[in-house]
Each structure stands twice: as C-alpha cells, then as structure tokens.
Amino acid sequence: MLPQSFPNPLTEFLFSVFIGIAILITFYTCNFYYLVFLSKQKHKSQRAELVDPPTVTIQLPIYNERYVATRLVNAVCTMDYPKEKMCIQVLDDSDDDTCDIVENLVVDYQKKGFDISHIRRDKRRGYKAGALRNAMKYVKGNFVAIFDADFIPPSWFLKKAIPYFCKPEIGFVQCRWGHVNEAYSALTKAQALSLDFHFLIEQNAKSNSHLFMNFNGTAGIWRKECIDDAGGWHTATLVEDLDLSYRAQMKGWKCVFLPEIVVDAELPVQMNAAKRQQFRWAKGSMQCAIKLLGDIVIKKIPIDTKIQAFVQLTRHIVHPLMLIQFLIMPILLAAKINIYLVSTLPLLTIAAYFAIGPLGYLMIIRDLWGSSWKSKALAYLYLVIYTAGMSVNNTVAVFDALFGKKNEFLRTPKYGIVNKTDDWRDKAYNLPFTKTTLLEIFFGIYGVIAIFIAIFSNNPVFVPILGIQALGFFCISYLSISHSTFKKSKLQKPHKVSKVEKMANGYYKLAVVGIIGFIIFGVIVAFDGYKNSVYPLEESRGIMSRIQATSDPQQIITDLRTVKVLLPKEGNPVWIFPTDSTDFGLIQKDLNTMISTVDKISTSSQDSAAFHTGMFNVHFQAQTIYTNLMDAIPYMYVSISNIVFSSVWISAIIGIFAVIKRKKERLKSYEMSDEV
C-alpha cells in the first residue's frame, strides 16, 4: 500500500487500527490453510484387536431433555457390547419431567439386567463439569465414554473405538460428529459445514501431528487414569472439555481423532439456541486462554505447538476485530482514505479478499466432498452470512470472558428434530431473543449506511464485503425475533386460552411488527440524513477538487456558486472543541472571496502575471476548503441531531423489547397459576 497523507490524527489512528486488524485476521485465516496442509498428511492411528473387551463406564450428562433423553438411553443400551462390561450412568440434573422419564427408563433397563444408574444431585453445582466430576467416584473400569443428550451413538461404537487405546499414553479418543438433521434448514446446513471444517481439517491436522487437540465434550472416550492425572473436571470455565484436554496433553498424554467413526447428533434448529451454543463456546475458549496460556508458555513443548494452542484458544477474538474493522471502514471511505492493497488497482483488493476467503474455502470443499461439493458450496454461502451475523453475539461472549463476568452454563435446547416436517415451535425450552439482537439490528443499519458511503465515495468494490456483513446482521436478528415464541408446550395440560394470554400473545406480535417498523423507519431516516447532510459535503469536495484542475473562470464561478448552495449557510459540525476551519459561515465567506477574485481576473489575459497569480490563489483556497470539508464530514455523522435521533430510536426499540419481556413474564405467571 502506498504512503498517503491524513486529514487529522484521528483518521491516521483509525487507519492504523484498520490495517493492524486486517493483518491479524489474515494471520488467523492463513493458519487455517496451514491446518488444511497438515490434515492431508497421511497418518493412520494404530489399533489392536479387541480380544477381551474392557469394562467401560458410559456417562450421559443431561439437564431438562424431555424430547431426547429416551432416544439417548435407548441408543446406549442397544450397543453391541457385552452387557456386563457396560456401566451406564445417567447424570440427571433436570428440574422438569425429564427426571421421571429417565427414572422409568432406568428401572426398565435394570430389570433387563443392565448396570445402569440414575445419578441425581441436590444442587446443580458446576453444571455439566460438576456432574461429571461428581460421577467419577462411581466409575467402573478404566475407560469413560461421554455422550451429550443430542447424540445418537451407533451400536458398534465401543467395539470400533476402544481398540485405539492400544498404547498406554493415549489419554482420549475423539470421534467425528455427524448431523442427523443437517438438511432441516439453511441454519442447520451452515452449522453442519462449520463443524465439518472443524473436524475434517482442524481435528484431523492436530491428531496427525504433535499439536494440541481439544476434546469436544461428547462422542469420545477417556482413559480414567488420564482424567485423574490431569486434575479431573474443573468448573472454572464454560468449556470443561477444552480445559481438561489441554491439561492432559500438557501432562504428556496423547490423543487421537477418529474421522471414520461418526456419531450423529441433533443440530440446533432455533436461532436463539444456536446463538446460546456459540456464546458458550466463544466465552469458554477465551476463559481457557486466560487460564491456560501462561502454563503453555512455560511448558517444555514445541514452539509450533505453543503457537497453535494460542491460535486455538484465542481465535474467537476475530469476532470483535471484525466488528471494529466494520465500524472503521466507512469512516475511512468517507474521509477519502485509500485502503486498497494497490492504490491504482482497486479490484486487486476485492480479489485478495475473495482469494483468501470464499475461493480458498470452495477449493477445500471440492477436495473434501468431491462430486457432492455443489450442495456444500451452497451451505458455505449460508455459513458466510451466518458467521458474519454471529460476530455480535460472539463479541459479547469474548468481552464477558475478558472482563471476568460469571455466567450460568446455559444448555442448548434440543427438540428431537430429525426430519424437515418436524416442528419445534410449540415445544418447551424455546428461547426468546435477547438484547444482543438490538445490537445486531444496529450493526445491520450501520452496514446499509456504510454501503451508501462506499457508493458515494466512489469505492463500490467494497459494497460486497459490507453487504454480506449487513445481510448477516439482519438475518441473525430477523431469525432471532421470528424464532421467539411464548406459546405453551404441547406437554402441558390443554386448557382454554385465557383473555390475558391472548392479549400477551397479541402484544408480542405487535411488538415484533413495531421493531420491524422501527428498523425500516431508521433505515429511511438514515438514508435521508446522509442524502441531505453528508452527501452535499461529499459532492462539494468533489467540485473543489475539480476547481483545482481547471483554469476556466466561467466554469470555476459556476462550480463555486453550486458549492455555496450545497453547503450550509452557517454552523459548525464540530460541536466539541470547534475550529474555524470547519465553520460553514467562514467557508461561505471564503467562497465569496474566491468568486470575487475569479471575477476580477476573468477580464485579464490568461497569459498575464495577474491572471496566474489570481488563479494560484483560487486553487490554493480550493485546496484549503477541500481539506476543511474532509475534516467536517466525519463530524456530520455524529451531529447533535443524529445523536438525539439515534438515542430516541434505540430507546424506542428497547421500550418495545421491555414490553415483550413484561408480557412474557405475565404469561409465565399465569402458566404457573394454571399448574398449581
């Protein structure tokens, strides 16, 4: 990128931040391609013949899983493995009717001769990690298999996975996740592809090398000795699996990823559930980074292992970086700052973005899926939009971790959704949208404004980048709202819908319509504001640039009169520490002086010294006004009127949000009164 001048120190600082973020994001992206290279290295994990099957404890941590608990227990109990060699523990912290469902199942299987127990705790201390830690004292044998409630282990799982513990240093094996409902919607297709990239690229690469690999919390088996040696399950983070697997590998234990063993699982079908899951993963990873990176630095492990551990644990920092870059880009474009890779070849910039992003990923997709790559390519489009929109949710998670905010381990609801015809909207556990949705709406509207800025500043090559991000924010916020529901569960007793309940649901629908209406209203007002306040300054700046390139008095006078009409007659957009350079009243006087000067020299010969001197002064004044307008434009976005309007607009949406929450609580209170 070529050197350039900046209108003020703030713009220069923002440009430096923008470039620094671009370098960091490129680093994380290129690291993924490095893992792609490692994943292609041929490495076959060793396994031994299973002559005498060892005793395996199978732990099933669940919490309020009325729709999938039966499916999970049945799948485990029908495994093709000696019944006497399986110790099944259902770690049930439920506080709804799931505990009754599980209790009846356990009793039935106990009568059939299964060693299965229903383990409950008086309090849900430590959430999933606490349940796993509590159950360790009841473990039988030296192997512990773990399955979350949404997984469906195949009958041959243990027979195929246990033989990979042929070496005593193998601490755990991780199997690949399958997707029982991948084709359900664009949301599930995007999530499935993201997980496939994680397992087929990242996990495969790390298993093939000496890099640290993380346990994914389910669909895997641990050696009990490894869990004990690593310090057991800790409850300090939201991702106890990542924490334990790193501590185990720092102790010298090895791990194996088995891509050929696929365990199907149910993907979240509700946007708010997917956001909750992503939030937990993002915050938990950053918590592990804070907790473990110090030990990783001082441990005697290869330098590339340390680097990859740092990347793995901190990769969610990309989300706030993306948001910051997204906020800065239109400001730099409005200030006419060149952010192309090569100033004379703007298309090279967009080509570079797509080369290290979509094009590279499409090549990977074609290599991994062969003839079926086209359907995955469409899923990649969904994933790009999904990832862009999810950056707000994950950014909040990252800052929660960095500021040490404590969060409850919030489970991801499962509904037993397998087929496209299955419906989840009238089931229990549905989640309402949160205040994060308001931020997503804000960023979506900001993206629309940024697109107009890119167009009017003659930088249309950035429109696709800004457009994808804005579309992502709108899609995520729209699905968050549309997937919210306050309906009763089918499992609740049928009752006559009360007048109050009808009113509550009616308020909810009106609130959703109100939010959508305010979004549209905000976009219209923002566009109108840009058109009437910012764009005239942009146009004037272009005219002043043209004046500097001409010596035609009549054309200059015409242009100056046009600028006088475009610019405000008075006022100063810099309302904090205003300067004379951005005072529109003084700029109008300078324009009058320029018109007077051009009038005087227009009667002189163009070869005379007077003409050249006068024209030099006019060009110099044009350059000065051009610079003054560059200084003024950024402050037009943060004018007092814009701040007041934005505050009122945000307050209105928050007010609508409060109405939704209040009506939801009222509905819940009536539901509770019905049940009493």
CATH number of the domain that residue 75 is part of: 3.90.550.10
pLDDT of residue 417: 92
Average pLDDT over residues 234-251: 95
CA–CA separation, 388 and 357 (whole Å) = 13
Query: Do 469 and 345 share a structural domain?
Result: yes
Examine the residue annotation and report whether 93 is marked as an active-site residue of this protein: yes
Number of domains the chain contains? 3
**CATH code of the domain covering residue 602:** 1.20.120
Q: Is the separation of the CB atoms in 114 and 77 below 8 Å?
A: yes
Mean pLDDT of 398-415: 86
Q: Does 241 share its domain with 148?
A: yes
The pLDDT value recorded for residue 435 is: 83
Asked if 201 contacts 83 with a C-beta cutoff of 8 angstroms, the reply is no
Asked if 241 is an active-site residue, the reply is yes
pLDDT at position 676: 43
Q: Residues 667, 669, 672, CA angle at the centre, nearest 5°? A: 110
Residue 655 lies in a domain: no
Closest by Cα among 270, 263, 264, 261 to 184: 270
Residue 235 shares a structural domain with residue 135? yes
pLDDT interval class at 489 (50, 70, 90): very low
On whether residue 514 sits in a domain, the answer given is no
Percentage of the chain surpassing pLDDT 90? 61
pLDDT tens column, 558-570: 999 999 999 999 8
What is the DSSP code (8-state) at residue 122? Answer: S
Claim to verify: residue 244 and residue 325 sit in the same structural domain: no
Q: Kindly report, residue by residue over 502-548, the tens digit of the pLDDT.
A: 555 565 666 667 767 777 777 777 777 778 888 898 889 889 989 99
Residue 90 CA to residue 98 CA, distance in Å, equals 11
Catalytic residue among 92, 148, 196, 241: 241
Give me 202's structure tokens.
Answer: 């990242």
Which range of residues forms the domain containing residue 586? 532-639
Distance between CA atoms of 181 and 357, rounded to whole angstroms? 27
Comparing 11-20, 75-84, 122-131, 453-462, the range with the smallest average pLDDT is 453-462
Residues 478 and 384 in one domain: yes
Percentages helix, strand, coil for the chain, rounded to the nearest 5?
Answer: 65, 10, 30
Answer yes or no: is pLDDT of 625 > 70: yes
Q: What is the distance between the alpha carbons of residues 625 and 544, in angstroms, rounded to a whole number?
A: 7
Degrees to nearest 5, angle at CA 473 with 468 and 478: 125
288: which residues sit within 8 A by CB, 6+ positions away?
Answer: 237, 239, 242, 243, 246, 313
pLDDT of residue 351: 67
Does the pLDDT value for residue 497 go beyond 80?
no
pLDDT recorded at residue 490: 44
Q: What is the pLDDT of residue 669?
A: 59
Residues 255, 163, single domain; the answer is yes
Lowest mean pLDDT among 197-206, 337-346, 595-604: 337-346
Is the same domain home to 279 and 241? no
Q: Mean pLDDT across the stretch 466-486? A: 89
CA distance 172 to 174: 7
Classify residue 121: in a domain, yes or no. yes
pLDDT band at 10 (very low <50, low <70, confident <90, very high): confident
Supply the Cα-derived Rg of the chain in whole angstroms.
31
Q: Does 187 share its domain with 235? A: yes
Residue with tokens 């090895």: 254
In a domain, 82, yes or no: yes
Q: Is the pLDDT of residue 495 over 80?
A: no
Mean pLDDT across 13-36: 91
Q: Considering only CA atoms, which of 412, 417, 498, 482 is closest in space to residue 671?
A: 498
| Placement of tokens 């644990």 in the chain | 313
Decide if 25 contacts 329 (C-beta within 8 A).
no
Q: Is the pLDDT of residue 486 over 50?
A: no
For residue 249, tell me if it sits in a domain. yes
Q: Is residue 72 situated within a structural domain? A: yes
* 51 and 2 in a common domain: no
Q: Give the pLDDT band (50/70/90) at residue 479.
A: very high
Which residue among the candidates 92, 93, 400, 583 is catalytic per the annotation? 93
What are the structure tokens assigned to 37, written together? 């290279």
Within a domain: residue 508? no
Q: In this structure, is residue 143 part of a structural domain?
A: yes
Could you read off the pLDDT of 549-560 as tens digits, one per residue?
899 999 999 999
| Structure confidence at residue 663 (pLDDT) | 61
How far is residue 355's CA from residue 362's CA, in Å, rounded to a whole number?
A: 10
Specify whether 299 is located in the same domain as 248. no
* Contact call for residues 283 and 401 (beta carbons, < 8 A): yes
Tell whether the model's pLDDT for residue 352 goes beyond 70.
no
Exposure of 30 by Cβ count < 10 A (0-12 exposed, 13-18 middle, 19+ buried)? exposed
The answer, yes or no, to whether residue 188 has pLDDT greater than 90, is yes
Instruction: Report the mean per-residue pLDDT for the chain.
Output: 87
pLDDT of 226 higher than 70: yes
Say if residue 97 is in the same domain as residue 246: yes
Contact (CB, 8 A) for 73 and 102: yes
* Average pLDDT of the residues in 383-409: 91
What pLDDT sits at residue 491? 44
Task: Assess whether 251 and 279 both reside in one domain.
Answer: no
Burial-class residue 553 by CB neighbours within 10 Å (0-12, 13-18, 19+). Answer: buried
Q: Residue 14, Cβ neighbours under 10 Å: how many? A: 21
The residue among 525 and 576 whose pLDDT is bigger is 525
pLDDT for the residue 200: 96
8 Å CB contact between 441 and 473: yes
